[in-house]
């Protein structure tokens, strides 16, 4: 029904079984799960917004692009989650996107998101069937606030930050709910080797140390990778970087490391989502194509996770 979420779509929507094979992609089939580390991941439809707002219309167009790209890659559109990137956009924009069916949002700055939440007073920004993740560079001294406010962190770029998040999640854990799931996180990898961007180098000792430390991070669930390729006007220029991230994800997954899951590959934005989907992305982060060109980001530090202005 419109306005409701289909929780059974979770395995496909968030790529629970991983992206399709790199060399010979095939349409994926639903996989039965006993647990869902991303409980808010669901198939959402328009929640009764009539007529369509400009944001809702833009979301519909983005979904069409995702579907076209998925079919071209012999994949199901349900294998790709659409994350709405709301950096610098007001709380009302988040509300409109949620009303139009978005279940997953990405924020870049803890302080900015805190201000948006406070602007709503006692009202919630989104319902319990949606989630908001940190996707910008997160300073370790803000880990506690991030865990308090947000539902996941997709930009873990150091073992130090992972330990801070784990400690914060342990502090906020509810002893009366032992079944409560750990905080979902993604490791950010810098596939382009750009000094100005956050992320761990794919062949770095730091990445290896983080992977091996996972069993001790009992309040985190490392679900996959996030990456941002070097900016280029030509979407095809991103392809080798996306492919490198996909290869890295497959390599890590093949090691069957304890405490590590590799079924989320977050890559692709407004300008290059089709290429990302062709290379195996399970989550595209889209801001400009949904909300329009953004204002200058607040001076709170951290690199943009949507290169398109």
For the residues of 162-200, what is the DSSP string, one character each? HHHHHHHHHHH--TT-TTPPPEEEEEEE-TT--TTS-SB
CA distance to 154, 170, 281, 282, 305, per residue, from 225 (Å)? 8, 23, 10, 10, 13
Q: What is the DSSP letter of 296?
A: P
**Cut 0.85: pTM above it:** no
DSSP 22-71: SSS---------S--SSTT--EE---S-SSPPHHHHHHHHHHHHHHHHHH
Least Cα distance to 86 among 229, 289, 267 occurs for: 289
pLDDT in tens, the chain (309 residues): 333 333 333 333 343 345 555 543 333 333 332 233 443 344 444 555 444 579 999 999 999 999 999 999 999 999 999 999 999 999 999 999 999 999 999 999 999 999 999 988 767 888 888 999 999 999 999 999 999 999 999 999 999 999 999 999 999 876 665 545 799 999 999 999 999 999 999 999 999 999 999 999 999 999 999 999 999 999 999 999 999 999 999 999 999 999 999 999 999 999 999 999 999 999 999 999 999 987 655 444 444 444 443
Its CATH class, for the domain covering 12-17+39-291, is: alpha beta
CA distance to 40, 99, 100, 184, per residue, from 49 (Å)? 21, 6, 6, 30
């Amino acid at each position: 029904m419109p306005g409701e979420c289909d929780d059974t779509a979770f395995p496909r929507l968030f790529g629970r079984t991983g992206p399709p094979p790199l060399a010979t992609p095939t349409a994926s089939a639903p996989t039965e799960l006993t647990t869902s580390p991303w409980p808010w991941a669901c198939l959402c439809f328009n929640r009764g917004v009539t007529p369509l707002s400009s944001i809702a219309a833009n979301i519909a167009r983005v979904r069409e692009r995702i579907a076209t790209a998925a079919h071209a890659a012999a994949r199901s559109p349900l294998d790709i989650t659409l994350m709405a990137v709301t950096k610098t956009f007001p709380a009302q924009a988040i509300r409109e996107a949620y009303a139009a069916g978005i279940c997953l949002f990405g924020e870049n700055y803890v302080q900015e998101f805190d201000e948006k939440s406070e602007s709503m007073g006692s009202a919630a920004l989104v319902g319990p069937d949606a989630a908001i993740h940190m996707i910008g560079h997160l300073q370790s001294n803000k880990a506690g606030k991030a865990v308090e406010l947000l539902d996941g962190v997709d930009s873990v770029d150091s073992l130090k930050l992972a330990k801070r998040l784990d400690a914060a999640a342990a502090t906020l854990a509810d002893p009366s709910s032992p079944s409560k799931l750990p905080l979902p996180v993604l490791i950010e990898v810098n596939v382009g080797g750009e000094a100005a961007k956050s992320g761990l180098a794919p062949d770095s000792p730091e990445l290896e140390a983080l992977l091996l430390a996972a069993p001790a991070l009992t309040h985190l669930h490392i679900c996959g990778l996030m990456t941002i390729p070097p900016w280029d006007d030509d979407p095809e220029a991103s392809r080798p970087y996306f492919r490198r991230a996909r290869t890295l994800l497959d390599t890590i997954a093949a090691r069957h490391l304890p405490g590590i899951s590799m079924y989320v590959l977050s890559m692709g934005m407004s300008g290059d989502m089709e290429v990302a989907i062709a290379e195996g992305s399970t989550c595209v982060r889209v801001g400009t194509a949904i909300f329009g060109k953004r204002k200058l980001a607040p001076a709170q530090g951290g690199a943009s996770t949507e290169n398109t202005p």
